[in-house]
């Protein structure tokens, strides 16, 4: 500015200075419009407000306009009536703003596209398309059924609807949205004003309006992923109800955006608040909202909630909290998989059945059962306690002999302790327990552990410790499970050979395998196989062989691993159950693949999938795991498309069934396929997610974490992110340094190669 600019200009050659002077003169000239932007905006806003493209009494096609009933940035909506005498009908006519149409905006194209979208939809919960065309000025319009109703939130408040009635309204809306999704249409702007409720036959009927910014899921440009009407990156949305991903024009819109909108609708109906405050009006919400049960009690002045509000809070606590927060999760992958799944959980809540948004557990299902059938459960509990007590008394009276009486007293003590545990479970399931606090799976199991450790009877305590240890294995917490199982085995004694002791060792095989302790696995496996190799039921023997083969492979003894896995496969094929065959076939295929014999592995892995599908169906955990192992090997062989199809199906199933934080190994398998295919960016992201998910579960120093960080570094190096690659390689080396020598030389050497590569290339660049 000023003298600095003049000095700079004086330093230029005459020709350049001559070309710049007239441009600068124009730039520095006073401009009334640009110098007073606020006044200019007022002028433009006033003109827009005064604009009225259509007046009452005018005709648009065969319809006569009666009144303006709504407007937005895109256009205006009028109530109109058929005027050509063919039949009498009240309709809604949407017309693009005349100024936008004349300005060449793509809004006119959006309206034509909305007409095409609505033509594909036929559902009682979606406003039906009746007609469409263009005005004499060439402005497009469309005609839908006229819904004489009120916004869903206003309707619920005006009629004083209780929680269940409000939930039923959202179920109807979700079913309508699911109908659109099944025809590849995403609404993208679900909010109360776009869902009107009208009375039909004495019952409320919500109707979804305004598909004006909807997208066809199959309309994407295959090359760019962009949609025809959003090439500029512009996305019309309502911030209070918009999913976070809608703020990013580079992200592909999916049905998850509407699941978020449905969650926001439910949240506001239940709490009279929006999920997030106005601070998110200019950007996406990156955190979960306050739980609905807490939101309704958060009074502005800090006073205690009145009784009615407290009762509403209790009715929302638990399932409805979980359903809302699942639908409103900032990460689309962690929301409900579909609007139908969202509606299904709401219906389960209304029916008093367990919802699917939380992990199934005995404690949770029992709690829901108790709530539905309190009288029956109370009677059953009383009868059971009486039966156990009577059994103990009968045992005492069976024989007056001292030994028999002593045995009977021991049995009575065990029975009484078991009855006490059962009574505690029922007490935890009571909805009034702990002031209505919803007991989580972890809390229920932790409480069970504390009570089990207080049991006086050693056999009963050992048995219950095994059951709880097995439960922790299913919850994906091998370290906790291992501690409980070690305590159980200590009660039995290392020399014990009873069936109960063998079952404890079987579970310890799983925990020691998960905790990367192959030598302990081999000790347990050899003992179990020696004790049970001749059993008619091969379950324990096959388990011992399977885990032993994995341990041998971990120790680098590939030939022995394959030989043991082959023995297990032969034994399972000769007389094992389908489940045992699936496991044995899959394990042999996995061992062959780890030994570098991937083509030989394929027939066994494919057979495992075939038997599992034939026995258990596609939607089953065994099938999903078998598909994942096959997909992993296919990815390593370079058959990326087939591998990705199998792995993504397995990831989706495991995330839905077991939780989205339990898919680390599957993400790593997909990452290997992407790395093999040279898709480095996707591979790096997948390995990072796998390690991030895995560290809290199996520990940061687990060899698998080191392998995933090394692979992440390799992928980052692949596309030139050398600084990030160096950081990932250093994390991998930290893991390798706490492992055995064989691991240090195997993964540690690979991690060092990636570190050196990143440092060298980064310095060169």
List, for residues 381-390, the tens digit of each pLDDT value.
555 555 555 5
Q: What is the pLDDT of residues 258-275, one digit of tens each?
A: 999 999 999 999 998 888
Q: Which residues pair with 96 in a beta bridge?
A: 75
To 10 degrees, what angle do helices 598-616 and 578-594 make? 160
The strands making up 59-60's β-sheet, listed across from edge to edge, are 59-60, 63-71, 75-82, 90-96, 140-145, 129-134
Q: Which CA distances in Å does 754 have to 117, 581, 707, 712, 723?
A: 51, 40, 12, 10, 11
412 has a pLDDT exceeding 60:
no
Please, which pLDDT band fits residue 610 given cuts at 50, 70 and 90? very high
pLDDT the model gives residue 95: 83
* 374 has a pLDDT exceeding 70: no
Residue of higher predicted confidence among 404 and 603: 603
Write the pLDDT tens digit of every residue in 152-199: 999 999 999 999 999 999 999 999 999 888 877 888 889 998 899 998
Beta strand 90-96 with 59-60 is unpaired
Q: Are strands 203-208 and 195-200 parallel, antiparallel or unpaired?
A: antiparallel
- Reduced to 3 states, what is the DSSP secondary structure of residue 162? coil
Max mean pLDDT range (206-215, 244-253, 418-427, 566-575): 566-575
- What's the alpha-carbon Rg for the chain, to the nearest Å? 34
Q: Is the pLDDT of residue 557 over 80?
A: yes
| Candidate from 551-555, 598-602, 660-664 with smallest mean pLDDT | 660-664
Closest CA to 661 of 475, 411, 498, 393: 475
Predicted confidence (pLDDT) at residue 573 exceeds the cutoff of 70: yes
**pLDDT band at 293; cut points 50, 70, 90:** confident
107 pLDDT tier (thresholds 50, 70, 90)? low
Q: Which residues contact 474 (CB under 8 A, 6 or more apart)?
A: none
pLDDT value at residue 403? 52
C-alpha distances in angstroms, 569 versus 448, 556, 557, 586, 609?
38, 21, 19, 9, 15
Give tens-digit pLDDT for 725-744.
999 888 888 877 766 544 43
pLDDT tens digit sequence for 673-705? 999 889 999 999 999 999 988 888 777 888 888
**Under a CB-based contact definition with an 8 Å cutoff, are residues 174 and 346 in contact?**
yes
Give first-to-last CA distance, the chain, whole Å.
Answer: 37
Q: What is the pLDDT of residue 430?
A: 43
Q: What is the pLDDT of residues 507-530, one digit of tens each?
A: 999 889 888 889 999 999 999 998
SS3 percent helix, strand, coil of the chain, rounded to 5, is 65, 5, 30
Strand ranges of the sheet holding 195-200, from the earlier edge strand across to the other edge: 150-151, 195-200, 203-208
Which position among 53, 178, 189, 531 bears the catalytic label? 189
Summarised one tens digit per residue, pLDDT across range 439-463 is 455 555 666 676 777 676 788 888 8
DSSP count for the chain of H helices, then E strands: 33, 11
**Is the pLDDT assigned to residue 603 strictly greater than 90?**
yes
Rounded distance between C-alpha atoms, residue 295 and residue 313, angstroms? 8
- Per-residue confidence (pLDDT) for residue 246, from 0 to 100: 82
Strand pairing partners for 95?
A: 76, 141
Average pLDDT over residues 478-507: 87
Using left for φ > 0, alpha for ψ between -120 and 50, and beta otherwise, residue 355 falls in beta
- Is 189 part of the annotated catalytic residue set? yes
Q: What integer pLDDT is reported at residue 713 of this predicted model? A: 92
**Under 8 Å between Cβ of 163 and 223:** no
Q: In whole numbers, what is the pLDDT of the chain averaged over residues? A: 78
Q: What is the pLDDT of residue 743?
A: 41
User: Which pLDDT band, with edges at 50, 70 and 90, does 549 fall under?
Assistant: very high
Residue 428: which pLDDT band, with cuts at 50, 70 and 90? very low
Instruction: Take residue 63 and report the two structure tokens written for it.
Output: 């319809």
Q: Is the Cβ–Cβ distance between 487 and 465 less than 8 Å?
A: yes
d(CA 613, CA 650): 13
Calculate what percentage of the chain has a pLDDT beyond 70. 72
Distance CA 128, CA 150 (A): 17
- Percent of the chain past pLDDT 90, that is, above it, reads 25
CB 41 within 8 A of CB 61: no
- pTM for the whole thing? 0.44
Long-range contacts made by residues 664-669, C-beta under 8 angstroms, separation at least 24? Answer: 664/689, 664/690, 664/691, 664/693, 664/694, 664/697, 664/708, 665/628, 665/690, 665/694, 665/704, 666/628, 667/693, 668/704, 668/707, 668/708, 668/711, 669/628, 669/631, 669/632, 669/635
> What does the DSSP 8-state code read for residue 283?
S
Answer yes or no: is pLDDT of 361 > 60: no
Cα dist. 401→391, 414, 603 in Å? 18, 20, 64
Cβ-contact 71, 61 below 8 angstroms: no
Structure token digits, residue 545 = 């062989």
How confident is the model over 396-409, as pLDDT tens digits? 555 545 555 555 55
Q: In whole angstroms, give the CA distance from residue 541 to residue 526.
A: 9
Backbone angles phi, psi at 115, to 5 degrees: -60, -40
Question: Half-sphere exposure of residue 158, counting CA atoms within 13 Å on the CB side?
Answer: 10
Query: What does each C-alpha distance from 636 to 594, 597, 610, 669 come to in angstroms?
Result: 11, 11, 21, 9
């Amino acid at each position: 500015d000023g003298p600095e600019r003049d000095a700079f200009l004086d330093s230029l050659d005459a020709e350049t200075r001559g070309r710049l002077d007239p441009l600068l003169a124009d730039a520095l000239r006073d401009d009334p419009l640009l110098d007073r932007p606020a006044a200019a905006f007022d002028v433009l806003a006033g003109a827009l407000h005064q604009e009225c493209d259509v007046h009452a009494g005018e005709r648009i096609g065969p319809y006569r306009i009666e009144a303006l009933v709504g407007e937005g940035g895109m256009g205006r909506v009028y109530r109109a009536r058929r005027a050509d005498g063919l039949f009498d009908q009240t309709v809604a006519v949407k017309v693009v703003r005349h100024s936008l149409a004349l300005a060449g905006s793509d809004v006119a194209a959006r309206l034509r596209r909305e007409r095409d979208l609505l033509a594909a939809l036929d559902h009682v919960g979606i406003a039906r398309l009746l007609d469409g065309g263009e005005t004499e000025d060439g402005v497009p319009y469309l005609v839908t059924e006229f819904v004489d109703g009120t916004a869903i939130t206003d309707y619920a408040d005006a009629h004083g609807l209780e929680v269940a009635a409000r939930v039923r309204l959202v179920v109807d809306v979700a079913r309508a949205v699911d109908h659109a999704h099944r025809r590849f249409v995403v609404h993208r702007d679900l909010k109360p004003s776009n869902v009107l409720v009208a009375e039909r036959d004495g019952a409320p009927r919500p109707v979804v309006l305004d598909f004006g910014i909807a997208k066809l899921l199959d309309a994407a440009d295959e090359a760019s992923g962009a949609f025809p009407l959003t090439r500029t990156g512009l996305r019309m949305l309502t911030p209070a109800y918009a999913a976070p991903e809608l703020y990013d024009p580079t992200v592909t819109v999916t049905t998850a955006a509407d699941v978020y909108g449905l969650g926001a609708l439910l949240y506001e109906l239940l709490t009279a608040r929006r999920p997030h405050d106005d601070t998110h009006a200019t950007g996406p919400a990156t955190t979960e909202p306050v739980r609905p049960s807490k939101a309704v009690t958060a009074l502005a002045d800090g006073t205690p909630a009145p009784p009615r509000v407290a009762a509403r809070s209790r009715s929302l606590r638990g399932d409805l909290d979980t359903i809302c927060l699942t639908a409103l999760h900032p990460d689309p992958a962690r929301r409900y998989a579909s609007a139908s799944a969202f509606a299904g959980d709401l219906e389960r809540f209304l029916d008093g059945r367990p919802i699917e948004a939380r992990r199934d557990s005995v404690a949770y299902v029992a709690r829901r059962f108790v709530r539905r059938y309190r009288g029956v459960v109370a009677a059953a509990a009383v009868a059971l306690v009486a039966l156990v007590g009577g059994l103990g008394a009968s045992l005492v009276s069976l024989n007056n002999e001292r030994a028999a009486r002593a045995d009977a007293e021991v049995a009575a003590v065990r029975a009484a302790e078991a009855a006490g545990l059962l009574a505690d479970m029922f007490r935890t399931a009571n909805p009034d327990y702990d002031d209505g606090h919803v007991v989580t799976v972890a809390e229920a199991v932790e409480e069970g552990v504390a009570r089990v450790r207080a049991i006086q009877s050693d056999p009963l305590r050992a048995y219950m410790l095994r059951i709880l240890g097995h439960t922790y294995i299913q919850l994906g917490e091998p370290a906790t499970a291992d501690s409980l199982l070690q305590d159980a085995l200590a009660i039995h004694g290392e020399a014990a050979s009873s069936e109960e002791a063998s079952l404890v060792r079987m579970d310890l095989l799983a925990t020691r395998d998960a905790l990367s302790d192959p030598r302990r696995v081999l000790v347990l496996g050899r003992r179990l196989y020696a004790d049970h190799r001749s059993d008619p039921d091969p379950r324990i023997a096959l388990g011992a062989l399977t885990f032993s083969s994995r341990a041998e492979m971990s120790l680098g003894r590939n030939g022995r691993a394959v030989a043991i896995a082959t023995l297990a496969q032969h034994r399972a094929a000769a007389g094992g159950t389908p489940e045992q065959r699936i496991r044995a076939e899959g394990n042999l295929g996995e061992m062959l693949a780890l030994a570098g014999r991937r083509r030989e592995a394929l027939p066994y892995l494919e057979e495992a999938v075939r038997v599992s599908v034939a026995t258990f169906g596609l939607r089953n955990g065994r099938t999903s795991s078998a598909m994942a192992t096959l997909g992993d090997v296919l990815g390593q062989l370079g058959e990326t498309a087939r591998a990705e199809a199998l792995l993504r199906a397995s990831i989706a199933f495991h995330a839905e069934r077991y939780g989205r934080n339990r898919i680390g190994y599957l993400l790593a398998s997909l990452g290997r396929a992407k790395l093999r295919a040279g898709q480095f960016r996707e591979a790096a992201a997948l390995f990072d997610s796998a390690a991030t998910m895995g560290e809290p579960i199996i520990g940061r120093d687990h060899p698998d974490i080191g392998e995933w960080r090394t692979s992440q570094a390799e992928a980052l190096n692949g596309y030139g992110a050398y600084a990030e690659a160096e950081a990932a390689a250093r994390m991998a080396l930290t893991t390798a340094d706490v492992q055995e020598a064989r691991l240090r030389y195997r993964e540690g050497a690979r991690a060092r190669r990636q570190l050196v590569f990143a440092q060298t290339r980064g310095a060169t660049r």
